Amino acid sequence: AQSVTQLGSHVSVSEGALVLLRCNYSSSVPPYLFWYVQYPNQGLQLLLKYTTGATLVKGINGFEAEFKKSETSFHLTKPSAHMSDAAEYFCAVSRGGRDDKIIFGKGTRLHILP
Amino acid sequence: DTAVSQTPKYLVTQMGNDKSIKCEQNLGHDTMYWYKQDSKKFLKIMFSYNNKELIINETVPNRFSPKSPDKAHLNLHINSLELGDSAVYFCASSHVRGGGYTFGSGTRLTVV
């Protein structure tokens, strides 16, 4: 079975500071990994994904994540936080296959301090 | 030109009623999903359909019945609504396995 653990249900950073949201996964097969963002009262938007190949993945809005198999991690980073980054962030994992389903972590609320 | 559209966006209803939520995607994807997001923001898959065939049916009360008339549509019918059904329901679609999903904007269901 697959699972995702997001460390910290709330993270606060100052505007302009580094954003680091932590995600660890468990999977018995090579995983597909995702980060989604959810703004208030909206749906989920895909930030970035890792399937195969390069382990450093760049996404939208200046975010990136690095797949580290040895650490079973897929942490999300952004060099400089912006007020508009305040949202809920979800790490997710899937394994492919016909009955593929994405398993989500419990989410991390990112607060940006002025 | 919304990619995945759900209707209605908000739904307030009384316990015991029956209601439906509709979802349509214009992305040409062959797989569609229903997810439930509870009050703590936890997202859990309910169903998936691939080309009108039910693929995933998680442990969901049989009061919930999905229907897919074609691969662009996936509706969710809920009978005998209960207070615990209050949540945000998201429809999603995908094409390539492992390629990630495109989500609709959600339907906020409130049962009173």
Encode pLDDT of B6-45 as tens digits: 999 999 999 999 999 999 999 999 899 999 999 999 999 9
CA gap B112, B109 in Å, rounded? 10
Span A33-80, pLDDT tens digits = 999 999 988 899 999 999 988 999 999 999 999 999 999 999 999 999
Residue from B4, B43, B94 whose CB has the most chain A CBs within 10 Å, to mutate = B43
For residue A2, the model assigns a pLDDT of 86
CB B38, CB B46: distance < 8 Å: no
Conformational region of residue B71, where left means phi above 0, alpha means psi within -120 to 50, and beta covers everything else: alpha
Of B50, B100, B102, the CB nearest to A98: B50
For residue A95, the model assigns a pLDDT of 84
B80 to chain A, closest Cα gap in Å: 26
**Tally of CB atoms within 10 A around A74:** 28
For residue A98, the model assigns a pLDDT of 73
CB-CB neighbors (< 8 A) of B101 in chain A? 44, 46, 102
For residue B95, the model assigns a pLDDT of 82
pLDDT band of residue B1 (cuts 50, 70, 90) is low
- Is the pLDDT at B2 greater than 80, yes or no? no
CA gap B47, B64 in Å, rounded? 10
Span B57-68, pLDDT tens digits = 887 899 999 999
Span A69-114, pLDDT tens digits = 999 999 999 999 999 999 999 999 998 777 788 999 999 999 999 9
CB-CB neighbors (< 8 A) of A46 in chain B? 100-102
User: Once rounded to an integer, what is the mean pLDDT over residues B47-57?
Assistant: 89
**Tally of CB atoms within 10 A around A42:** 13
Q: A101 and B48 in contact by Cβ < 8 A?
A: yes
Name residues 68-97 of chain B within 8 A of A (Cβ): 90, 92, 94, 97
Count, residues in chain A: 114
User: Once rounded to an integer, what is the mean pLDDT over residues B73-87?
Assistant: 96
Tokens coding B95: 């094409």
